[in-house]
Structure 1
Amino acid sequence: MTQPLHIILLIHYSLYSNYGKSMLKFSALIAEGMEKRGHTVEYWKPPVIVGALGKPVPFLFKWLGYIDQYLIFPLLILWCKRNLPPNSLMVLSDQALGIWVPFIKNRPHVIHCHDFLALRGSLGEILHHKPSFTGRLYQQLIRWGFSQGKCFVSVSNATQTDLHRFLPAPAELSKVVYNPLNSPFTPFPSHNSWSELKGLWTGGEGKKFILHIGSNWYKNRLGVLQIFEQLAFKEPEIYLVMVSKPTRELLAWLNNHPQLSAKVIFLQNVSFNQLQSLYSLAEALVFPSLFEGFGWPVLEALSCGCPVLTTNAQPMTEVGGDVANYISTYPDSEDEQLNWAKQAADVLQEVLTIPSDLKEAKKKERINHAGRFSLEHSLLEYERCYQDAIRIAVG
């Protein structure tokens, strides 16, 4: 029987939307899961006081928000933690909140780590991402903060490897717990899927397409277009559906490839049922990411039985296991990118032309593999880590 805990869940500032729905879902997943397991959960987040004054002016909005987060909120943490019950555990939902760690480091705590792409960019490790001077300074402050932590949970081995590089000394607790599916993705029948998509993709019904999900710079959408260009020579009837907003770079590429522009469909404001329908109908998810912390779309696609073509690197290989199809990492050299795209298109065509008698068996394998990433398993592992953190603090 585990000891009931009083969990203080520290979450992001509510005025900032750049952390998106995924972090809100993750925090809610922890809170709801721990409450069902008999623990109490309390949310702590920065109050919206000074930041609200800057909403009409984007520049002021960001900097005034920092006052709420890093001047006012730390004082509230110091005040409120004085009277916490002895079974209390401070849980940071994201290592990006690391600046608060010095104010909780003497209490039992766990820091959830998702990815270190911003920090790596600030250190010059990622050519594709070069933050400003203030961005680099901000990431160093985050690193200074989380480096004072003792107990960590990473979403993948790739994230844990980065964490260990950035810590000044070995952590007292460092575990990998894979993300669970945070929504019930399952295959949709074809007729139901097209019904869901009628208002989203006009004229799309019955068309064959490959799929890409994501808009962040590291999703490598230009690489997706390059693969599609090579695939179109072999499969002229196929479309590319990209769930994201087109950037100037992508539109410029399409302007230079007018023969493909009508075959590339950008979809936005996609509902859960529509996303599930896209996964269920797609010939394959094409996901040649440069970097990831975990790689949600890989798991979501596999849960719907959709074939996956992704980068042969962690964490994509951790999530895809032996049921995904892999290609080499996107090269920096433009001369090498053409050969890379041709090779990727060859692998993708093999996926698309698999004999029909094997398709259903492969689909079941993908769904069964995705089932390993269950919510109950992740919650059990989180709970064990939380209990271990309490024991470490007690000594």
Structure 2
Amino acid sequence: MDRFAGVLYDGLKASGYQVRLLKPPSILGRILPSATGLGKWLGYLDRFLLFCPLLKKAANWADVVHICDQANAVYAPYLNRKPLVLTCHDMNAIRSAFGEFTDHTTGPTGKVYQRWILSGLKQARHVACVSNSTYNDVLRLTGLNASKVSLLRNGFNYPYRRMSEVESLHYLKQLGLGGSQPFFLHVGGNYWYKNKEGLLLIFRQLIGFKEIQQHKLVLAGESLNHQLRLSAKKIGISDRLQEAPNVTNEQLCALYSSAEGLIFPSLAEGFGWPIIEAQACGCLVFTSNSPPMTEIGGNAAVYFDPLDEIFAARIIWKVVQDSKSLREQGYQNVMKFSTKKMISKYIDCYRLVMS
């Protein structure tokens, strides 16, 4: 959630507040950079052995401390009892640790870690939740009084807009895409809840329709892992996929502006930033028929059961044929997600916990 923290930092500075942005240093983790094995544990030493004393010292300076990601709630005991505001983006990892997702399990150490995070959440003076579904999960799983929890939706982390064809083409060429190649877009990592296996199946069904036979699927974000590559090969769509890892904001804006639509079949989310990013660029949004996707997309997105690829593909195909009014509704929907308004509401939260 570095981008969220960065937007908040810039907004507060622009509003005249003194702000310091802290994050765990990568010292031991640089010895063996890896998200698994020994590298993972060296990273933990950076976060919990080296960073905690630094954080405790820095907290003395602040009137309020804001933890910008619920995963960092484990730092709550190291803030010298300073008023704490915590932003919760989702409770999916905690829910998984409690066995709420039947198709995903959490290991023993993961369960301990998520209980540690939950304990930290309970120590916050105020928890801001980015969607109604996250708000309800926080109340249910923490047992916090409703007066200590609020709904505070995200604003944008970049001024997404619809690019002209000429401008878009400039950035698409950087990604190896020509202006004449039609494509659908997906934005996201390989986490289980992103449902990329389902995405591939939906796309396989989609290209069975005559009008969509020549389309590609552009995957912006984390590169496909080995299992997903095998799945794509098995269903015969490997040559129709184009990966675009590490895209810039401008390149992503061009992708949204040029895509036939965003396919976002998540099984769970905390907010779903790609939904409003796409709508701000005039891109059709096809996403799962469950919250928070239905909350964030509003009346300007098209919803389907993410586990029914045949029905999902048929819905997408039908809407693509006549979509002008839906694009206009998307522009209206994103007006609800103001970064300026978000900053103002967080300032209200800081005043609340200090009173």
Q: Say yes or no: TM over 0.5.
A: yes
Change in 2 beyond 3 A, CA 1:79/1:266: closer
- Partner AA of 1:309 in structure 2: F
- 2:311 is aligned to 343
Question: Of the candidates 277, 281, 297, which is equivalent to residue 258 of structure 2?
Answer: 281
Q: Is the 8 A contact 2:285 2:302 kept in 1?
A: yes
**How far is 1:296 from its partner?**
0.9
Aligned to 1:214: 188
Deviation at 1:353, TM superposition (A): 0.5
Matches within 5 A, 1:81-92: 81-82=59-60, 84=61, 88-92=63-67
- With over 3 angstroms needed to count, the CA separation of the structure-2 counterparts of 1:277 and 1:44, relative to structure 1, is closer
Match of 2:330 among 366, 388, 391: 366
The aligned residue for residue 321 of structure 2 is 353
Decide whether aligned partners of structure 1 residues 289 and 108 sit closer, same or farther in structure 2, where only a CA change above 3 A counts. same
Match of 1:156 in 2: 131
| Whole-angstrom distance in 1 between the partners of 2:234 and 2:13 | 54
Q: In structure 2, how many angstroms separate the alpha carbons of the residues matched to 1:206 and 1:184? A: 26
Alignment of 1:5-24 (within 5 A): 23-24=1-2
Are 1:236 and 2:213 counterparts? yes
Larger radius of gyration: 1
> Are positions 1:183 and 2:151 aligned together?
no
2:171 pairs with 196, 212, 215, which one?
A: 196
**Residues 68 and 212 (structure 1 numbering): CA distance in 2 closer, same or farther, change over 3 Å?**
closer
Separation (CA, whole Å) in 2 of partners of 1:241 and 1:71: 41
Segment drifting more, 249-258 vs 111-120: 249-258
Q: Establish whether residue 97 from structure 1 lines up as the match of residue 72 from structure 2.
A: yes
* Contact 1:105-1:149 at 8 Å conserved across structures: no
Structure 1, unaligned runs of 5 or more:
1-22, 331-339
1:291 corresponds, among 264, 268, 284, to 268
- SS across alignment from 2:21: strand
Deviations 1:189-248 (A, max 9, x none): 12321222113125x331222111112321111111111122212132222222241222
Give distance in 1, aligned partners of 2:228 and 2:35: 29
| Distance in structure 1 (CA, Å) of the matches to 2:230 and 2:28 | 41
Superposition TM-score, scaled by structure 2 size: 0.90
Letter of the aligned partner of 1:214 in structure 2?
A: G
Q: Gaps (5+ residues) in structure 2?
A: none
Number of residue pairs aligned between Structure 1 and Structure 2: 351
TM-score, reference length from structure 1 = 0.82
- Aligned ranges for residues 239-254 of structure 1 at < 5 Å? 239-243=216-220, 244-254=222-232
Q: Secondary structure at the match of 2:86?
A: strand
Shift of 1:279: 0.7
Aligned-residue Cα RMSD (Å) equals 2.3
Q: 2:59 touches 2:80 (CA, 8 Å); kept in 1?
A: no
- Contact 1:151 1:171 (C-alpha < 8 Å) held by counterparts: no
CA distance in 1, matches of 2:95, 2:59: 32
Q: How much does 1:42 deviate?
A: 2.0
Amino acid at match of 1:33: G
* 1:45-64 matched pairs, under 5 angstroms: 45-47=23-25, 59-64=37-42
**CA–CA distance in 2 between the matches of 1:387 and 1:71?**
32
